Structure 1
């Protein structure tokens, strides 16, 4: 391979990845920005109870979404590289299986939700359940799009369609809440509209242009083989729900007030908005990290990780410092201001997301999906157990610490699991750097929370210093001198 082809040998390659980061991560989050800017207008017409009900609905639907695809998405990237020009035939068969499985899961979810909200009338429950299962029924096209366009380094077809669908959902939510005053129903309607629009918009680029259409596979042997590989991805996906949503379900089980659940949901939602930087950079890196690992360029793989992890940390620290000010500016309902601490801890809980992406990518490449259970499912189960123990004692605030502790156990997995111990050694021979990451995050969690309480003038000074450090970090990476 020529030197000019190797990853990040010049500044132009860094520039290209940063531009893709903006397209894949920042521009799609314009809808998130609009959602945030919408908060001052809708929060006066929402209560913690509305957020509490919405938090429970989204938790149960989220669990259904994690099961609906049967984990078959794990084959998409591998089939793209393995089948090359004929990948669309394999993807068509996967699409058919995903659509069928989604319909079955949607039907089961409808029944479960119908009997879960027995405090509503039959008509209200029927309408609520019909709207709630729409994202489950129409997730398949978006799932394929999330893989094909990053693999081809074509962000625009993915980003612009997702943006249009998201904006349609936001408008629906805003109209429902601001004008019709229907509370949490507005969130459910918005998600349903966005999901349906997303499915429709990707019919042309995927079904027509890429010729990926639902195609029944008559080979049961092949279907069983695919599912046997993909099934471990289901508990993997469930693990994310156990990490993010189990706390709300446990709260409801223990009779924690719906208002406290609403405050927690509001804070966690705001905290999730902050992870734009990490998601953007890692998404832009997906083709590069795939090629780097497949071509045994482990040094490049390591440098990609350090870069994305560094960007994530900068974004999180900056957001946590300014979180109280953001709440006062955006959340025009004092009842929600207790969620500031939740939002700050939610930011740091997701600080190890880049590490997860790089570790899980190796599992997908090696087709050793059973190892995914260690990454998220085990921490997820740990979070559920800790929530069951701690929430009855300390209430919803206990979930802040159980969640962040459970997320951060991912850093320790390469020290105890043979598979990750071996693969991490390939691209990070000095594993103590992971322990250094854990210590750094712990120190920054305390420091940034302290800085969030200082005078606004001093916050500006600290922010300028952070931007200076970020510019220096980017400059060093452009010279191929990472850390």
Structure 2
């Protein structure tokens, strides 16, 4: 099981991360041609699009997972109806997104407003449903190769266009949006053949409203849960904009938060690979306590891996900024990036609780974890950003992410279905201590960093391998 998880994570991860790593290494090429204003404009527009993206799927991934796992012989019929319904919904969604962006595009980008609208709205309306359902199908059926190939090709295309439009054509923030739109077109082309011609997953537009209503009754309560990820990951930039923080300062925060999002995106390969295994464990855990212990061992192993990786990366973040960001003004954001990146080590413990609640169909309580975390982040930002500036946004993000990761274990509904103890408060303490230690040591000498990194890596590796052996299937 450990080998299978690692192999799937590698397939998801290597293909996706090779172009992403290329994108990181492209920073020295493009950052001399970018300013904090460019990062600020891009950050604000992206925040609005990500916010609305949470309602694009209407939470129907829950219905897709349940139909696939519980009705394997007829799930395609359900998915095709949902595909048809989402295709119609995408048109209305496009008008909503366009209206929000018309209002939200910063004044500094007013001259490019129509181009920005087209580049952000049309690709989602035309290609979004195909990409969403195809990626979900291949992930849930444990076929990572199509997702990996698509991620690799799209990633390389986007990075190459970023370099061309920003470093060669000197287009500034517009380069990002042209490159992203082109990437979505390439992704649609790559997914269309396997989804429609191999899997025969053509949309059914004459869908049954009874099926749609039943599906929405289960899925809509999940939307606040999904929206919380925006509130945690991206809403800071909107709050900064609403509080009239200068766009260049927003840009400084955006470059810091982007490193946290780099890590989150990289960790998605592990999350994608782990999801089907959680389904296998939870499907057996009520009859076999060993399966529940396997799920816990996998969660602990991933938590150790995430903590070790974030700690080492944050320890070297100052040097990485100097190496990658060829802009002294943008380099000053690395302390903020440490706080934000350490927050994203919460994800394995979050998966342990939320996946169980979702599988047992307790989706109506997920808002108590995610929505409260996201809303709390916004409220804290509104209170403390006017007092302490962008530094407060980084700290409140870490606090909210910790709540996101561990509050699920305190829910009554979780305690009713949990078979084993995950010791969440011990892990929460470890998360906080790790942040304090790495932040205090962020400017120590290189020799000390090498030694500390080696010790951390060995300890994390031993812990991961020991726990990994305990979640192999019988």
- Structure 2 residue corresponding to 1:355, chosen from 344, 349, 358: 349
- What is the aligned partner in structure 1 of residue 168 from structure 2? 179
Q: 1:324 to 1:113 in 2, by over 3 A?
A: same
- What is the aligned partner in structure 1 of residue 120 from structure 2? 132
Q: Compute the displacement of 1:345 (Å).
A: 1.2
Contact 1:56-1:248 at 8 Å conserved across structures: yes
2:283 matched to 1:294? Answer: yes
Q: Tell me, what secondary structure is at the counterpart of 2:319?
A: helix
Q: Compute the displacement of 1:416 (Å).
A: 4.1
- Structure 1 residue corresponding to 2:308, chosen from 314, 323, 328: 314
Distance 2:353 2:206 in 1: 31
Distance 2:265 2:229 in 1: 18
**Structure 1 segment 403-422 matched on structure 2, within 5 A:** 403-414=397-408, 416-422=410-416
- What is the aligned partner in structure 2 of residue 29 from structure 1? 17
Q: Compute the displacement of 1:403 (Å).
A: 0.8
Q: Compute the displacement of 1:112 (Å).
A: 2.3
- Structure 2 residue corresponding to 1:338, chosen from 320, 332, 338: 332
Q: 1:479 to 1:291 in 2, by over 3 A?
A: closer
Contact 2:94-2:124 at 8 Å conserved across structures: yes
2:431 matched to 1:437? Answer: no
- Structure 2 residue corresponding to 1:40, chosen from 23, 28, 50: 28
- What is the aligned partner in structure 2 of residue 245 from structure 1? 234
- Structure 2 residue corresponding to 1:72, chosen from 42, 51, 60: 60
- Structure 2 residue corresponding to 1:454, chosen from 444, 453, 456: 444
TM-score normalized by structure 1? 0.92
**Structure 1 segment 198-277 matched on structure 2, within 5 A:** 198-275=187-264
Between 1:41-50 and 1:123-132, the stretch displaced more is 123-132
Q: Compute the displacement of 1:309 (Å).
A: 1.1
Residues 86-126 of structure 1: per-residue CA shift (max 9 Å, x gap): 22111111111222222211112112222333737877311
Query: Which runs of 5 or more structure 2 residues have no equivalent in the other structure?
Result: 286-290
Distance 2:192 2:301 in 1: 35
2:364 matched to 1:370? Answer: yes
Q: 1:121 to 1:352 in 2, by over 3 A?
A: closer
Contact 1:134-1:196 at 8 Å conserved across structures: no
Q: Tell me, what secondary structure is at the counterpart of 2:107?
A: coil
Q: Tell me, what secondary structure is at the counterpart of 1:213?
A: coil
Q: 1:345 to 1:359 in 2, by over 3 A?
A: same
Contact 1:277-1:311 at 8 Å conserved across structures: no
Contact 2:221-2:363 at 8 Å conserved across structures: yes
Residues 274-306 of structure 1: per-residue CA shift (max 9 Å, x gap): 246643333212111101001112111111111
Contact 1:168-1:194 at 8 Å conserved across structures: yes
TM-score normalized by structure 2? 0.94
Q: Compute the displacement of 1:409 (Å).
A: 1.2
Q: Tell me, what secondary structure is at the counterpart of 1:216?
A: coil
Q: Compute the displacement of 1:51 (Å).
A: 0.3
Distance 2:408 2:457 in 1: 32
Distance 2:130 2:217 in 1: 23
Contact 2:101-2:117 at 8 Å conserved across structures: yes
- What is the aligned partner in structure 2 of residue 4 from structure 1? none
Q: 1:123 to 1:213 in 2, by over 3 A?
A: farther
Between 1:14-23 and 1:259-268, the stretch displaced more is 14-23
Q: Tell me, what secondary structure is at the counterpart of 2:73?
A: helix
Contact 1:64-1:106 at 8 Å conserved across structures: no
- What is the aligned partner in structure 2 of residue 427 from structure 1? 420
Once superposed, what is the RMSD of the aligned Cα atoms?
A: 1.9
Q: 1:308 to 1:145 in 2, by over 3 A?
A: farther
Q: Compute the displacement of 1:481 (Å).
A: 8.7
- Structure 2 residue corresponding to 1:473, chosen from 456, 463, 466: 463
- What is the aligned partner in structure 2 of residue 9 from structure 1? none
Q: Tell me, what secondary structure is at the counterpart of 2:352?
A: helix
Contact 1:62-1:241 at 8 Å conserved across structures: yes
Q: 1:47 to 1:213 in 2, by over 3 A?
A: same
- What is the aligned partner in structure 1 of residue 389 from structure 2? 395
Q: Compute the displacement of 1:147 (Å).
A: 2.2
Query: Which runs of 5 or more structure 1 residues have no equivalent in the other structure?
Result: 1-12
Distance 1:193 1:452 in 2: 38
Runs of 4+ in 1 over 6 A off after TM superposition: 120-123
Between 1:265-274 and 1:139-148, the stretch displaced more is 139-148
Q: Compute the displacement of 1:43 (Å).
A: 0.3
Distance 2:123 2:352 in 1: 28
Distance 1:265 1:333 in 2: 14
Distance 1:459 1:29 in 2: 25
Contact 2:225-2:366 at 8 Å conserved across structures: yes
Q: 1:313 to 1:180 in 2, by over 3 A?
A: same
- What is the aligned partner in structure 2 of residue 62 from structure 1? 50
Distance 2:45 2:443 in 1: 34
Distance 2:413 2:43 in 1: 36
